Amino acid sequence: MTNSLGRNVPEGKKPFVSSTDYKSHKRQQIGLKTQAEKPVFYESLETAFVDLSLHSGMTFSFHHHLRSGDKVLNQIAKLIEYSDLKNISLAPSSIFPQYDLSELIRSGRINNIYTSYLNGPVADAIQDGHLKGELIMQTHGGRARAIESGELAIDVAFLACPTVDLNGNGSGAIGKSACGTLGYAVSDLMYAKKVVLITDNIVDKLEKYQFDHRFVDMVVKVDSIGDPKGIVSGTTRITRDPIGLKIAHDTALMLEALGEIKPGMSIQTGAGGTSLAVADAIDKLMVKHQIKGSFASGGTTGFHVNMLKQGLFSKLYDVQCFDLEAADSYRVNAFHKGISASEYANPHDPKAIVNKLDIVILGATEIDLKFNVNVTTDSFGKIIGGSGGHADTANGARITIITAQLMRARIPIVKEKVHTVTTPGSDVDILVTERGIAVNPLRKDIITKLEAAKFKFVTIQSLLEIAEKICGKPKELPEGKRQIGVVEYRDGTVIDSLYGSR
Amino acid sequence: MLRSLLFVPGNNPAMIQNADVFGSDAVIFDLEDSVHVAEKDNARNLISEYLETYPVLPDVVIIRINSLDTPFWEADLDAVVSKSVDWIMLPKAGVEEIKKLTLKLESIEKIKQIEKTIKIMPIIELASSLVDLENIAKQERVKGVLFGAEDYRADMGIKRSDTGVELLYPRSRIAVVAKASMIEAIDTPFVDVMNDTALISDCHNASALGMTGKAAIHPRQVMTINDSFSPPKDQIEWASKVMKAKRQADEKNLGVFSLDGKMIDKPIIARAESILKIAKEYGIGGEADD
């Protein structure tokens, strides 16, 4: 079976129809758990594990706010083995390279994985064919939707929480492992059958908290939930790479030509060096034209915090803090607001922030002539990431811009057909490269505005031709034979399949 | 005309392959100061291969060779001169050095059957070159000069100032001689690459004296230089209005006419025409305002 993009869909799965199809479906929400008793506090993860009465075949979830410093998932993985649990489904919001799950996957203890981002040894083990069940790659908003609808039923959510008070309320803003907002875990908190907060800091009372004790069953005190060095980077920096700076500069000029640098504007950029350079270039234009925007959103950095402090935006809506400055700002600044993954990007949340975005700046490992974008696999088919909020923001924002170098390590990023579709081309409007800007022909309004402003742009076909002229035409990857999982669009339909490496 | 000329080290493949994307009017591939002695051969081979095989080259290609008092300059030319090269930039240039370079270029052009005449851009970085500038500018292949302020200061034994006052005389002299000789006057690079504000000020200092362009040592300087050496938007709009008023006056057979309360005569019309011509060449306007 194939979907509307011509991509293979395993039997029994819902094929992707269009990026607006979800609007014809109603929001589904399972009932919220009512908690009569106060959470029980434990000093040992092992004891809590026993008291949870766990059994094989269950689904455990986690969040990734402690990023590469997270120690919780590995601790639970050890207990899965120690407790001789099998056929477990794991649903972490992201999987980073420090997770040591390969043996549990090989031995059939972990059989299914649901996540929004995946790289490192776990990705390798899955692509080598060791996962006995399926890999479901979701979007951040799609994960929240799946959890609240019961499509992804979580038996136990093991949620790292930098500080918990004696009532069982939790916060990521303070504590030795502070990481800022805990937005990706809120759906898990509200809809998992059991919720366990794992913390290394207990205080008497939190005045401000993101995790409400009414959803919490257990609190476990451990020595450490994470390595602060890996949780947040000290600072995030604007790229100094001249190509990245040129792409950023051209993006800002194009937005100016489109008349998008205007009062009330809202924007989301990533935390990478080039994304920050785009934010910096937009910052300068906003200062020059004395523009005050409405909000910036997404994962935030010190750079975004400075824009808030300068008064360039009224608010920051933050689902994840990427550095210390952002985490500090989230703690002290009332206009730096933490939001849940659902409030951020759930396709069925009527107030989702992504739907209020004017502009989103995103990256790509590949983009094809129909503007379909791949951020899940590299040009050799290896899993190196995933949508995260890519497909959510691309769909929600009024203008979606992809910034990318035309060639990376002598491989063109523009392809006739991307290896894996993460985000459909119907949601992608503009590609900015160092060798030209291409506009999706579907966006006639943008084309008309750029033409009126005498702003130069080219076709995506011409960018493909330049790239292939310089690099040569890469060999086509052989068609994948052994499906190892699927990429879901934000509505849960399958937009593409993932294939094994052998 | 060249507003911005971007220096790219001749031994840096990553920078060379992207040399054409930064919007500079010309790229200077350097074989001199940015290339260590041990790297000269590699740099020559790299630039030569690049110019022969790369499918997208800068619009204007300049090669800065080593000066004629080094053992490298002839090997530089033998390796890199091809039909893709537009200019040779010559350090420590005097009339004799230019004549010697001209003979060598004539020979290579003949051997390699290059039909065009490769131009020479001497670097004026010695007090003696500044004194002899009229003669340098008269040399047939010399179609532009680059002012080298760092070596000029060293030759003069003077320090760099914040205001650039020590460059007032050489810049003025170069601009005037270049204008009289109808060649390009390219200003010295600005070395503090992260200081955009100071770069703007330095560009204005140079352009106010009549320098026509400026070298860049980092891609981030290119756009500022292009903006600084292009006619400002309000000037282009003014020139368009002048030319529109002139057409209307011509239809009425009026020799002299006024615009916004000011008399428009021949020199003003010539200035407006010149602004529109330059703007059109740089692709920033220049169409008559109808």
Single out the residue of A427, A443, A445 nearest to residue A371, CA to CA.
A427
B155 within some domain:
yes
Query: Is the confidence at residue A4, as pLDDT, over 60?
Result: yes
**What local confidence, expressed as pLDDT, does residue A502 receive?**
58
B286 within some domain:
no
pLDDT digits (tens, 9 = 90+) for A200-239: 999 999 999 999 999 999 999 999 999 877 877 656 788 8
Which chain A residues are closer than 8 Å to B22 by Cβ? 242, 246
- When CB atoms are compared, the residue of B55, B56, B219 closest to A246 is B219
Q: A242-477 belongs to which CATH class? A: alpha beta
**What local confidence, expressed as pLDDT, does residue B290 receive?**
45
Q: Are residues B162 and B256 in the same domain?
A: no
B287 within some domain:
no
pLDDT digits (tens, 9 = 90+) for B182-191: 999 999 999 9
Which chain B residues are closer than 8 Å to A434 by Cβ? 18, 21
Chain B nearest-CA distance from A406, in A, is: 11
**Using CA of residue A354, residue A357, residue A361, residue A366, what is the dihedral sign?**
positive
Q: Are residues B204 and B276 in the same domain?
A: no
Please report, rounded to a whole number, the percentage of residues in chain A having pLDDT higher than 90: 89
Q: Are residues B223 and B238 in the same domain?
A: no
Indicate the number of domains in chain B. Answer: 2
CB A347 within 8 A of CB A407: no
Output the CA–CA distances (angstroms, integers) from residue A307 to A29, A268, A280, B63, in the order listed: 37, 12, 9, 43
**Lookup: tokens for B197:** 């504000």
Q: Are residues B224 and B264 in the same domain?
A: no
Q: Are residues B25 and B167 in the same domain?
A: yes
Q: Are residues B122 and B39 in the same domain?
A: yes
B273 within some domain:
yes
pLDDT digits (tens, 9 = 90+) for A235-275: 678 888 899 999 999 999 999 999 999 999 999 998 788 88
B274 within some domain:
yes
Q: Average pLDDT, whole number, for chain B?
A: 94
Q: Are residues B58 and B160 in the same domain?
A: yes
Domain ranges, ordered by start, for chain A: 31-231, 242-477
Q: Are residues B258 and B143 in the same domain?
A: no
Q: Average pLDDT, whole number, for chain A?
A: 95
Q: Are residues B276 and B180 in the same domain?
A: no
B63 within some domain:
yes
Please name the residue of chain A whose CA is at the shortest distance from the CA of residue B17: A470
- Residues spanned by the domain of B186: 4-228
CATH for A31-231 is: 3.40.1080.10
**What local confidence, expressed as pLDDT, does residue A405 receive?**
95
Alpha helices for B220-263 (secondary structure H): 222-228, 233-251
B277 within some domain:
yes
B84 within some domain:
yes
H or E element: which one contains A359? strand A359-362
**What local confidence, expressed as pLDDT, does residue A33 receive?**
80
- When CB atoms are compared, the residue of B15, B17, B55 closest to A469 is B55
Q: Are residues B35 and B127 in the same domain?
A: yes
The reply to whether A31-231 and A242-477 are identical in fold is: yes
In sequence order, what are the beta bridge partners of A42? Answer: A220
pLDDT digits (tens, 9 = 90+) for B70-93: 999 999 999 999 999 999 999 999
Model confidence band, residue A167 (pLDDT cutoffs 50, 70, 90): very high
Q: Are residues B82 and B183 in the same domain?
A: yes
- When CB atoms are compared, the residue of B55, B56, B220 closest to A245 is B220
Please name the residue of chain B whose CA is at the shortest distance from the CA of residue A245: B220
In sequence order, the 6+-apart residues with CB closer than 8 A to the CB of A31 are: none
Output the CA–CA distances (angstroms, integers) from residue A11 to A14, A321, A497, in the order listed: 8, 39, 11
Please determine, for the modelled complex, whether the ipTM score is greater than 0.90.
no
Taking CB atoms and an 8 Å limit, are B17 and A243 in contact across chains? no
Q: Are residues B74 and B204 in the same domain?
A: yes
pLDDT digits (tens, 9 = 90+) for B122-177: 999 999 999 999 999 999 999 999 999 999 999 999 998 888 899 999 999 999 99
CATH code: domain of residue B50: 3.20.20.60
> DSSP letter string over A376-429?
SB-TTS-B----BTHHHHHHHSSEEEEE--SEETTEESEESS-SS-SB-GGG--
Which chain A residues are closer than 8 Å to B21 by Cβ? 243, 246, 434-435
CB A358 within 8 A of CB A399: yes
Domain boundary among B228, B246, B267: B228
Single out the residue of B218, B200, B28, B190 nearest to residue A243, CA to CA.
B218
